[in-house]
Every structure is written in structure tokens, then in C-alpha cells.
Structure 1
Amino acid sequence: MEAVAEPRRVQTLVDAGISRLPSRYIQPLELRPDPRRCGIDVGGIPVIDLSLSAGDPVPAIACASRDWGAFQVVNHGVSSRLLEEMKSVGSSFFSSPMEAKLRFACDPRSPASEGYGSRMLSNDDGVLDWRDYFDHHTLPVSRRNPSRWPDFPTNYSIKDTILEYSDGIKKLAQTLLHMISQSVGLPPSYIEDAVGEVYQNITVSYYPPCPQPELALGLQSHSDMGAITLLIQDDVPGLEVLKDDEWAVVHPLSGAIVVILSDQTEVITNGQYKSAVHRAIVNDHRPRLSVAAFYDPSKTRKIYPAPQLVTKNSPRKYREVLYGDYVSSWYSKGPEGKRNIDALLI
């Protein structure tokens, strides 16, 4: 196999003081952020309070999952201290010297490999996102390889922040999947059982200032592959969710966690709920940071619609899929909105 050339990190381009966007980062005209829509607010995604005093959140989760495929949760049980520490250690990594960060570079032949990278897809001829990232493989425990995790700065602690965050966000994902299962009339553990042994990645994404943000995307339009994604962001807007052919800004909300339904949950619910198409835009003056925790099946897991949700009035909509095959297709063909899950439609 020929070696794949690793593109320069976006941070190195910014540090070099470029004033024009390199051609590899220029999105096709139809995919670029529309400057005529900038500043137009089509309504933010729902915010759901999970505290006991707020009442039963399941009806609100059902509505948000059906209409948006995404929502924000507050009073979710993950401490504000831990959320801030997770963002802080990520920010500290990206502010470290380049030679130190490159010690943990991803394998350029495998964009899903653990470590510090920029390129997301297997093919080497596509448009690149204006983003650098660090991907941690955190669950199951057998996937953890601490030698692939930074040993700097001193507060980037394997034993403390990353692992505490991994455990806390897993518990929240399980709670939310139980509520989502209940909301469609399934046993609480149904989606969790369908997913099986969870594969969790925690990805810190860094979006540097962009000299021509109207031509680029920090992360191109896509829906996530797995079951559910839980994301935190700093105070710089950039995450957008597609609803009714309009891009809605997910406004940063202190202490909130963004919940994004992913493709396998759409399959399991037989399309009652949809995976959210989302993207990240960039700006020319402020960097942005987000942390996404992906809750996915193992690659040997077969996913299919829950039989209880297949009826005469709601026939089966999706073919069974081996999750490993789905991942391979996603990384080889590219996301392009929801074309990967659309390929499973019967």
C-alpha cells in the first residue's frame, strides 16, 4: 500500500500567517456557508432539563428526537467542574508547541486512528476541513492505549480528567438512550442492548481562525455513524444543525451538553427518530473548541429496526447492517449529509 501524504495541520497554516485559503480547503459553491443567511436565527434546538424537579423529560426528548434529532440537556449530572476541565486540557494541548503535538500524530493511512490529526476521510483527494483534532479511544478498556495520549501539559491527566469524563459521559449516554427507548414504547434498555458493548471515542476538535471563512467549513455536513453523540463546546458559536433545509445555530449554553442522535438510533427506531445532520462553520478572528464523545456499537454488531416498531402502518424502512461495514463505507465514500444511512433504505 502506498503511503498517504499527511496534510499540514491547520494550525501551522495559521501560524504561517496565510491571507488566502489554500485550494484544498475551499468548499464547492453549493456547500459553502451562505453569507446571505449569516445572522438569521431559525430557532435554536430544544433545551431539556433533566432534573427531577423539572418533571418527566421523556415527552420533550421524544419531540426533540422526532423534529430535530438533537437537543441540549441541562442538570444532566455531569459536573460543571469536569466539563470545564475537559475543555481546558484540550485547549492546553492545542496551545502547546507543534513539535510536541506531532509526537502524537495519527497514522495518515488511517483517519480513524488515535491521536493528533486533521484529515477525516480515507480518500486523499477531497476537500479538507478547517480543523485539527485529537481522538482518544476510551472504551472498552481494552482499546485504551495511554502511550497514545499526551503526557503534557501536566494537567492533561490520564487518571483524572479523561477517564473521569469518559465514565461520566457514558452514564449520561446510557440514561438518555433509556429515555429514548421508552419514548418509542420500547423497554428502557432496548437501544443500549442493541448497541451491545459500547465503543467510545472522545474527540477534541480545534477550529483556528480562518482567513476566508466564507469559503471553508470547520466540519462538513454529516450525520454521525453510531448511536448517540454528546458534545460540549466553548463560548464561540459554530455548530449548526439542519432542520427543514435551514441551518440552525446551536448557541453555546453554559453547563449544557449537546445531544446528537446518530444513524444507528435512526435505524433501530425504524425512522421514528432521525439522526441529525450537522456541520461546523468557522470565523476569521476567534478559535473554537469542542469535545465530542461518540457512543457506538462494536464493528461486529448487526443493527436493524426494532421488530416492535415494524407494523402494517409502519413497514420496515432499513436493511440490517453490520456496523463495521457501515463505518468502512462512511470513511471511504465520505459523509455528504445522510447519504450513508440513505443507502440502507428499503
Structure 2
Amino acid sequence: MEAKTAPPQRVQSIAEAGLKQLPREYIQPPEARPAGRRMNESLPAPGEGVPVVDLFLFDPASFEDVRREIQRACGEWGAFQIVNHGIPRDLLERMIAAGRRFFDLPQDEKRAYSCDSRSPASEGYGSRMLSKDDSVLDWRDYFDHHTLPLSRRNPSRWPDLGDYREVVAEYSDAMRELAQKLLRMASESLSLAPSFIEEAIGEVYQNITVSFYPPCPQPELALGLQSHSDMGAITLLIQDDVGGLEVLKDGLWIPIVPLPGAVIVILADQTEIITNGEYRSSVHRAVVNPDRPRLSVAAFYDPSKSVEILPAAPLVAGGGGSPARYRGVVYGDYVSSWYRKGPDGKRNIDALLIDNQRS
């Protein structure tokens, strides 16, 4: 008789067991631990942190000012918060509440939605995103939903908890519309056609990932999410009031302080390639704490895996721009490389630099 495989251990279960010491597989190497953060030496002064961009509900009268702010935030940071974005506050709150309802379930009920731990980024409830057995684990559980294109959306695979499925579908559609508006403004801010980045991406693949970060017995040794830049085009994220998301800027880890009703915009690697490095993908991570659980919801807006991503012709030499900084890449190959190598900051996109160019 074939032996049954033990179900994978979830971080929430480890935390609820009341351990005083962190299991070895969650201990980060010394250079990656949050205890050594340079940001603790000097927190950013008001106005010097991650930008907050007021979209004025996309009022045409404010368009030029907003476009300049987006250009600055994309070029200098690659991450920013937006307010007056048009997404109802009630929808954001219902999405956070839906995520909490799932993670409040008994462990046996959550396991009914477990994803295939052998297949990276498979849909469902999991803890481990990488297939590498020797990688340090994140102090995080998650539920990943495949939401776009509609042919991938199957709500029967999602938790059957009141209006959970309806909220995720409504949230997915709202985030798609917001991402499209932001990408159009980003294109125009570089004097490209409004639809340029969208057309370069092609058919959109969207995943919505609810991440749960339990209290950690030794937060100075762990990370909820290791340092990385996102693979796709743009990520839109909301978080509860606990905080923990940080972005890397000029060697400092800068916290993104929770702002009620705001949406966090994180540029991803394919947008950096398309803009020929004019806009940078953001290196970010999540830290944890010993007292309070944290929940966030990320909507990833990505190309089809068959699409080849190249620097925009108008932004490279011959089109009036700088020499091409990146080689083209088929997005599916890029994703495979990311999961094979692991996150590790921007190592994956740096491998595409031409002649090892670095800014």
C-alpha cells in the first residue's frame, strides 16, 4: 500500500502552536534579516517617503498634474500609493474582510482548498511559492485566485463563504479597470500612445493573492515575503492597518505606511523592460511582527506567457531614445526562470541587461 503524504504545514498552524523559537527553515541568512535594516538609523521625514498620488478621480482638469506625479513616482520609486482612484472604499474593505473570513476558518476547512504544492503559483490555499527545496521559507500563508482572462476564472474553486466569490469577482474587475487607466497614464507620461504598454502586454492574465502573515515568535530573523521585484507588468495592492510592506530606495528599506482607502501601485519587471528602464520595477519585501497578524491583497496584472516583451521602439536609439538596455524575453520563459532561481531582489531582470548595463 502506498504511504500517504503528510499535508504540508501551514505557517498559521505553526504560529498558533505557541512556539517560542522560529523553525530553522524560516530563518533568513544574516544579510537578509530585517534586524539589520539601515532604515532604523533614520526614518524618512514627512514628504520624503513613498509618494502618495492624488488621482482626482481622473478629472481631465487635473490630468497634467497627475501625469507629472505619476512620472516622478514611476521614475524615482517604482512604487507609490494612490488616493481618489475611483474604487469604492466599501469594496476594498469587503475584500479585506473576505480574506480574513477565510483565514479565520478551522485548519481542516481551509485545507479543503489546498493548492498543488509541487506546482508554483497553482490556484488555492498554500504557503510555499517556490519549487526549490533548499529555499528559506516565507512567514506567510496565501490564497491565490486565477481571475483573468475569464476563461481561467472558476469561482467554484474559491471559498464558499457568504459573498466571498462575488466580492473577489467584483474586485478583480475593478482592479483590471484601474490598472488599465494607470498604464495608459504611464504610457502618455513617456510620450507614447496611451495604449502602448497595454498593447505590448497583450491579453491580460490576472491573479489575486490574499496573503496572511501570522504573528512571528522571532520577527527579527524572518521575513513574511523575501526581497523581490514582481515578474509581470503592474501590481495593485491593498493592506490592512498593521503595516509591514517595505520598498528599497537608495539602499534603505522604506515602510509603506497604511493609508485608509489607498491602493499601492508596484511597477513590475515587464514594465521596466518596455519603458527601457525609464520606469523601474520596485524591489520590496514584507516584514512581520510578534503581536498582530497582517493581511494584504495583491492583484497581479501580467502578460500572456507566449508574449515577447521588448523595449518600446520610440524609447530606444533610432526612435529618438537611448540604446536598448534589455534583451527581449518571452514572458513564459521569464516566469520559469523566476521560479527556478527564486526572488533575490532584481536578479532576474538584471540577467537581461545588455552589456551588463546598470543604472
TM class by shorter chain equals: over 0.9
| Correspondence list, 1:97-112, <5 A | 97-112=106-121
Distance (Å, rounded) in 1 between the aligned partners of 2:290 and 2:248: 23
User: What secondary structure does 1:104 align onto?
Assistant: coil
User: What secondary structure does 1:291 align onto?
Assistant: strand
Distance (Å, rounded) in 2 between the aligned partners of 1:211 and 1:34: 14
Matched residue, 1:314: 322
Matched residue, 1:127: 136
**From 180, 198, 206, the counterpart of 2:204:** 198
Distance (Å, rounded) in 1 between the aligned partners of 2:6 and 2:298: 26
User: What secondary structure does 2:264 align onto?
Assistant: strand
Number of aligned residue pairs: 341
Matched residue, 2:28: 27
Alpha-carbon distance, 1:330 to partner: 0.4
Distance (Å, rounded) in 2 between the aligned partners of 1:213 and 1:58: 39
User: What secondary structure does 2:147 align onto?
Assistant: strand
Q: Contact conserved, 1:6 with 1:108, CA < 8 A, in 2? A: no
Q: Which amino acid aligns with 2:330?
A: L
Matched residue, 1:177: 183
Q: Which amino acid aligns with 2:123?
A: E
Distance (Å, rounded) in 2 between the aligned partners of 1:126 and 1:20: 19
* Structure 1 residue 48 corresponds to structure 2 residue 56: no
Percent of paired sites with the same residue? 65
Matched residue, 1:329: 337
* Structure 1 residue 150 corresponds to structure 2 residue 159: yes
Q: Contact conserved, 2:248 with 2:282, CA < 8 A, in 1? A: yes
**From 282, 290, 305, the counterpart of 2:288:** 282
Q: Contact conserved, 1:4 with 1:124, CA < 8 A, in 2? A: no
TM-superposition CA deviations, 1:283-323 (whole Å, max 9, x none): 00000000000000010011000010002761001011000
User: What secondary structure does 2:177 align onto?
Assistant: helix
**From 88, 108, 117, the counterpart of 2:97:** 88
| Farther off after superposition, 21-30 or 307-316 | 307-316
Matched residue, 1:297: 303
Alpha-carbon distance, 1:34 to partner: 2.9
Q: Contact conserved, 1:44 with 1:251, CA < 8 A, in 2? A: no
**From 230, 236, 243, the counterpart of 2:236:** 230
Q: Which amino acid aligns with 2:215?
A: P
Distance (Å, rounded) in 1 between the aligned partners of 2:155 and 2:297: 19
TM-superposition CA deviations, 1:122-153 (whole Å, max 9, x none): 1111100000000000000111122321112x
Q: Contact conserved, 2:184 with 2:194, CA < 8 A, in 1? A: yes
TM-superposition CA deviations, 1:8-37 (whole Å, max 9, x none): 100110111111000000000000003564
User: What secondary structure does 2:53 align onto?
Assistant: strand
Instruction: Call closer, same or farther: CA 1:233–1:132 in 2, change over 3 Å.
Output: same
| Farther off after superposition, 38-47 or 15-24 | 38-47
Distance (Å, rounded) in 1 between the aligned partners of 2:149 and 2:334: 20
User: What secondary structure does 2:175 align onto?
Assistant: helix
**From 204, 209, 218, the counterpart of 2:215:** 209
Note the aligned Cα RMSD (angstroms): 1.5
Matched residue, 2:14: 13
What are the ranges of 5 or more consecutive residues in structure 2 without an aligned counterpart? 355-359
Q: Contact conserved, 1:299 with 1:325, CA < 8 A, in 2? A: yes
Distance (Å, rounded) in 1 between the aligned partners of 2:201 and 2:160: 32
Q: Contact conserved, 2:310 with 2:329, CA < 8 A, in 1? A: yes
TM-score by length of 1: 0.96
User: What secondary structure does 1:215 align onto?
Assistant: coil
Alpha-carbon distance, 1:55 to partner: 5.0
TM-superposition CA deviations, 1:38-61 (whole Å, max 9, x none): 484234210001112655311000
Distance (Å, rounded) in 2 between the aligned partners of 1:4 and 1:302: 39
Distance (Å, rounded) in 1 between the aligned partners of 2:132 and 2:156: 27
User: What secondary structure does 2:112 align onto?
Assistant: helix
Distance (Å, rounded) in 2 between the aligned partners of 1:4 and 1:106: 14
Alpha-carbon distance, 1:238 to partner: 0.1
Alpha-carbon distance, 1:111 to partner: 2.3
Distance (Å, rounded) in 2 between the aligned partners of 1:5 and 1:232: 34
Distance (Å, rounded) in 1 between the aligned partners of 2:118 and 2:140: 18
Q: Contact conserved, 2:35 with 2:221, CA < 8 A, in 1? A: no
